[in-house]
Amino acid sequence: MNLQTINASASPEVQINENFETLDFASVYGKRPAATSGLTWGYYGGRWSGFAITADVLTLTGASTNYLSVLRSSGVISTSTATTNWDNTTLYARVYKLTTAGGAVTAVEDHRAGAYGVFTSGDGDVVGPASATADDLARFDGTTGKLIKAGIALSTSTTLAEDSDAVVATQKAVKAYADALISTADAMVYKGATDCSTNPNYPAADAGHTYRVSVAGKIGGASGKVVEVGDWFICNTDSTAGGAEAAVGTYWNVIQTNLDGAVIGPASATGDAVVLFDGTTGKLIKGGGALGTAAFAATGDFATAAQGALADTALQAAAIGVSVQAWDAQLDSLSAATANGVSLITAANYAAMRALLDLEAGTDFYSIAAADSAFATAAQGALADTALQTAVDGTPASDHTASGPQTNTFAAGASITVMDLVYLGAAGKWLATDASAAATGSGLLAISLETKADTEAMNVALPGTFVRDDTWAWTVGAPLYMSETAAAITETQPTTTDAVIRVVGFAVTADVMYFNPSPDYITHV
């Protein structure tokens, strides 16, 4: 016993009062008899939840049930015949439930130490049902979060035979049910990807087990089926052991999904018949019939069997160099000569050739003097060369185009975007420039005219071209420099220490530049 024992003394009331003082905290909001009469309910004050509560009275409603509650945020007590505050246990703590009749209190329920009372925390307190079934799942009763009711039973049946909304199957039961269902139906079950580059054997499997080829090769060992990336192989028999094609291949179906370049033939064909393309796709073929027959659509391009036999008989009696001319390359070229050419070749001598040609100096050919005068002087040649030069259009017709020398001989050395400023690297590939790196600022420069990936041939504008990009906004006449931003061109001269300063051209319009890089450059100090 914690309280002091009342013993025989001159003043036992002292010990009694000290004990009452110890228990005084429990009197807060308790009935104060001296102030209670009829429908007036008196209550004690004290300290509660950090608040100083002053003793006072409440006026009850006659012939009703009065619910006394305390607002948790202030400690203020109130009475109501409605259960709104009484049930709102989040905001209110319960004190008394009082029944009145005939102008007096006829029944008293003290809830101060009960569920959601002023002497219980309220937050997180949960009230359960009168009884429950062991291992059942509990359910909330209402929306307060403080009441729970009889729950739902757990089922371990692997057949889900209950078929009920009042029973919940365990994870193990559901898995067993699904596994049995899949096994019974031989459903396709994806088991993963297989690298077939090393020609692996088939794995041990049940019907429906499905694998996808991730790397081309063979499945079923070195003598197995050829498979390509994306193909599937599916087991068709339960309890199939792993092994090679010869042992277990009949228990597997290989489904080809990669048909790139595959050719599809007819439903049936005649042995030794010629194969013809069916349409122009290159992927369909059809039967063409036997050579030399009406069924073969292109008989005119091939000899019939009788024609072939006749030709063979004629050639057998010929002697090469006697009755049959041996093949000669010059004879092969002479076979295409015109009638005049044949006459010259068969002429008896040079005099006969000249007579056939009937050539006269000054008419059919130049004399030496006439030939000298027929050729242009050096000055005339220079003039002709100037006349043959073609003027370069300074205003390319469309965005991302150029007028002037271009080349697509060399490949990109990295991912290059159209209109990037590039240089020809040591490996003979175009790479992005950067004025911050001197190694990229020297040598041959160009502007990419298309977007390309590493090793792809890329067309570029070479020095001496007019290049157009509709996103440019140059100041006309301004010199343009290699930028410290990779692959970019700028009007602003680089100012960073050791940055490359190299003029790459001049702006001729807001979106056109004359690309003609300076052969030399300096670095900023």
pLDDT tens readout for residues 458-508: 999 999 999 999 999 999 999 999 999 999 999 999 999 989 999 999 999
Residue 121 pLDDT: 62
What's the CA gap between 220 and 249, in Å, rounded? 7
Asked if 6 contacts 12 with a C-beta cutoff of 8 angstroms, the reply is yes
Pair of tokens at residue 325: 């001319």
What's the CA gap between 296 and 288, in Å, rounded? 5
Residue 1 pLDDT: 61
DSSP E strand stretches across 315-410: 401-403, 406-407
Residue 246 amino acid letter: A
Q: Within 10 A of 333 (CB to CB), how many other CB atoms are there?
A: 9
Output DSSP code: residue 205.
B
Residue recorded with tokens 């807001």: 510
Residue 135 amino acid letter: D
Asked if 148 contacts 126 with a C-beta cutoff of 8 angstroms, the reply is yes
Backbone angles phi, psi at 73, to 5 degrees: -80, -15
Q: Tens of pLDDT along the chain (525 residues)?
A: 677 777 777 777 777 777 777 777 889 999 999 999 999 999 999 999 899 999 999 999 999 999 999 999 999 999 999 999 999 998 999 999 999 999 999 999 999 999 899 988 655 566 677 678 887 888 888 887 767 887 788 888 888 877 778 788 889 988 988 888 777 777 889 999 999 999 999 999 999 999 999 999 999 999 999 999 999 999 999 999 999 999 999 999 999 887 666 778 888 888 878 888 888 888 788 887 776 565 555 545 555 566 656 655 655 555 666 666 666 766 666 666 677 777 777 777 777 777 777 766 566 655 556 656 655 555 555 554 554 456 788 999 999 999 999 999 999 999 999 999 999 999 999 999 999 998 888 889 999 999 999 999 999 999 999 999 999 999 999 999 999 999 999 999 999 998 999 999 999 999 999 999 998 888 887
Pair of tokens at residue 302: 């091939």
Geometric angle at alpha carbon 9, from 7 and 14, rounded to 5°? 85
Backbone angles phi, psi at 91, to 5 degrees: -100, -20
Pair of tokens at residue 167: 């029973």
For 455-468, the DSSP string reads TSB--EEPTTEEEE
User: What residues contact 288, with CB distance under 8 A and at least 6 apart?
Assistant: 273, 274, 275, 276, 295, 296, 297, 298
The alpha-carbon radius of gyration of the chain (Å, integer) is 53
Burial of 426 per CB tally in 10 Å (0-12, 13-18, 19+): exposed
What's the CA gap between 122 and 143, in Å, rounded? 15
User: Pseudo-torsion of CA 289, 295, 301, 304, nearest 10°?
Assistant: 90
Asked if 451 contacts 417 with a C-beta cutoff of 8 angstroms, the reply is yes
**CA nearest neighbour of 238 among 193, 191, 211, 204:** 204
What's the CA gap between 118 and 113, in Å, rounded? 7
Residue 462 pLDDT: 97
**CA nearest neighbour of 191 among 226, 242, 245:** 242
**CA nearest neighbour of 460 among 499, 433, 490:** 433
What's the CA gap between 137 and 132, in Å, rounded? 10
What is the helix (H) or strand (E) element at residue 154, kind and residue range?
A: strand 148-155
**CA nearest neighbour of 41 among 115, 100, 117:** 100
User: What residues contact 261, with CB distance under 8 A and at least 6 apart?
Assistant: none
Residue recorded with tokens 């109501």: 80
Tell me the whole-structure pTM to 2 decimals: 0.31
Question: C-alpha distances in angstroms, 500 versus 137, 414, 430?
Answer: 75, 22, 19
What's the CA gap between 114 and 326, in Å, rounded? 126
Coil, strand, or helix at residue 378? helix
Bridge partners, 152 (sequence order): 137
Asked if 478 contacts 490 with a C-beta cutoff of 8 angstroms, the reply is no
User: What residues contact 35, with CB distance under 8 A and at least 6 apart?
Assistant: 42, 43, 55, 57
Pair of tokens at residue 183: 């096994």
Half-sphere exposure of 80 (CA within 13 A, CB side): 14
Bridge partners, 100 (sequence order): 105
Residue 312 pLDDT: 59
Pair of tokens at residue 308: 């072939």
